[in-house]
Structure 1
Amino acid sequence: MTLGEILAVAAVGISALTLWDSHQERVRTEEKAVATADRADAEAAVLVLRATPSRDGDRLTLAPLNPEQAIQAQTILFPSALKLPPVETTGDPRIEADWFAEPLKRARKGAGQKDEDPGDQRLPIIVVTHYLAGGARHTSRAIHDLGYTLEGRFLRGSAVTLRGMSIVRTVKEEGAQAALDAVWTGRHRSAG
């Protein structure tokens, strides 16, 4: 074998190694891109709501914390003890105290609770949110604690003032109402 042949074989070997290394680098880059896209999709699929009370506390305006998400519609479900139908919103995500104030006060009274309880009270609700993230439609279903206080009003009884909202846990569609009722019952034993 001549020196020229040896150099030619070495050049072919080096070219093959370079091609193989280049292919491996491309595979690693593609795997990273897929992992990043999967992570971004997973983050977009998680909805965290921010609830901002109005000045007089009669309404909470709901918005996603992630600016890449857009709420399309929501359904608010209440504990069965309140005897209320679900409330639907479209295009204006919110919770209004008027939707549940009187039934809540009756259910609290039935559970032997006073209007003068100190601090914020918690009403468990289910918020089902249909939203867009990254161009895809998603649905979030979770039990939230709706923070409120009861404030006495001269000659008009007490008024529900909304303070905020925090997530308790996500739930599946099947059994969601039963899970919500269990949270309510755990907090209000005699309201059943």
Structure 2
Amino acid sequence: MTETPPDTNEDQAEKAEKQAIRRRWLTIGELVAVAGVVIAGLTLWNGWSERRDAAATRVAEQAAARAQAEATRRRVGLIATDAGGDTLAFKGIECALQATDIRFPKALGVEPQFTVTVHEIQAGWIAKPLLALTDGGADRRRGRLPMLIESRCDGAGGPRLERAIYDLVWETEPGLLGRSLKLRGLVLREDKVGKDADARLNALWSRPEAQPRG
């Protein structure tokens, strides 16, 4: 019977190297598994974070849209209904206009006006100072006069209040007794004015020749 020779030093070294290789592969496999778990966790976190941010963005956008819709719904929004020249009639958009307070630039020297029941602007309120400022040159002139109008009206959802700056479109015409002032339109200029509304109104006014043409 032939006996198996004992392992040589070379065989023992080879076995040790193979065991070391197996241990290294095991360690690498464990690292790969751990990395996979970490990556999966990060992917889940990123997905949840993106969904959360998207949801927050949608909520903010919806809130802004609701606020804008409410602000629009609560606006009075004045529009001219008849520009006969000597007077300019106006009303609220989709609401029953109750009263308005109308103020003019301080430099014009025109007293504030108030309307109730009949809502119109009269050329006679502003004719004298505007004709004086436009005296000389062409008989026909056209421009805009900024006015601060505080309006109150009744509409869907209850009373509405608005403070806004409108441009009154005017023009001068020659006649047998001299030039006259005619009113031609009403244009919204700024609908978000605060406590400094009078200062803003005065800042917008300059001599008629520097005003935007109607």
User: Aligned runs of 1:1-192 on 2, under 5 Å?
Assistant: 41-55=70-84, 57-66=85-94, 69-109=95-135, 114=137, 116-118=139-141, 120-154=142-176, 156-185=177-206
The aligned counterpart of 2:51 is: none
Distance in 2 (alpha carbons) for counterparts of 1:114 and 1:179: 30
TM-score normalized with structure 2 length: 0.60
Note the C-alpha offset of 1:186.
7.6
Bigger strand fraction: 1
Letter aligned with residue 88 of structure 2: L
Is the contact made by 1:81 and 1:107 (CA closer than 8 Å) also made in structure 2? no
Paired residue secondary structure (1:89): strand
**Which entry has the higher C-alpha Rg, 1 or 2?**
2
Bigger helix fraction: 2
Paired residue secondary structure (1:157): coil
Letter aligned with residue 80 of structure 1: K
Letter aligned with residue 50 of structure 1: I
Distance in 2 (alpha carbons) for counterparts of 1:181 and 1:39: 28
Distance in 2 (alpha carbons) for counterparts of 1:114 and 1:182: 26
Is the contact made by 2:134 and 2:208 (CA closer than 8 Å) also made in structure 1? no
User: Equivalent pairs: percent with the same residue?
Assistant: 30
Paired residue secondary structure (2:205): helix
- For residues 142-171 of structure 1, give each alpha carbon's deviation from its aligned partner in whole angstroms, at most 9, with x where no partner exists: 1111111100111x2211111111011024
Q: CA RMSD in A?
A: 2.8
Structure 1 gap ranges (5+)? 1-34
Pair 1:184–1:87, CA change in 2 (3 A): same
Paired residue secondary structure (1:185): coil
Is the contact made by 1:144 and 1:169 (CA closer than 8 Å) also made in structure 2? yes
Distance in 1 (alpha carbons) for counterparts of 2:169 and 2:126: 13
Paired residue secondary structure (1:153): coil
Distance in 2 (alpha carbons) for counterparts of 1:115 and 1:182: 26
Is the contact made by 1:127 and 1:142 (CA closer than 8 Å) also made in structure 2? yes
Distance in 2 (alpha carbons) for counterparts of 1:188 and 1:138: 36
Divergent runs of 4+, >4 A: 35-41, 186-189
TM-score normalized with structure 1 length: 0.66
Is the contact made by 2:173 and 2:179 (CA closer than 8 Å) also made in structure 1? yes
Paired residue secondary structure (1:163): strand
Note the C-alpha offset of 1:81.
1.5
Is the contact made by 2:103 and 2:112 (CA closer than 8 Å) also made in structure 1? yes
Distance in 1 (alpha carbons) for counterparts of 2:199 and 2:102: 15
Paired residue secondary structure (2:200): helix
Pair 1:38–1:178, CA change in 2 (3 A): closer
Is the contact made by 1:83 and 1:103 (CA closer than 8 Å) also made in structure 2? yes
Structure 2 gap ranges (5+)? 1-62
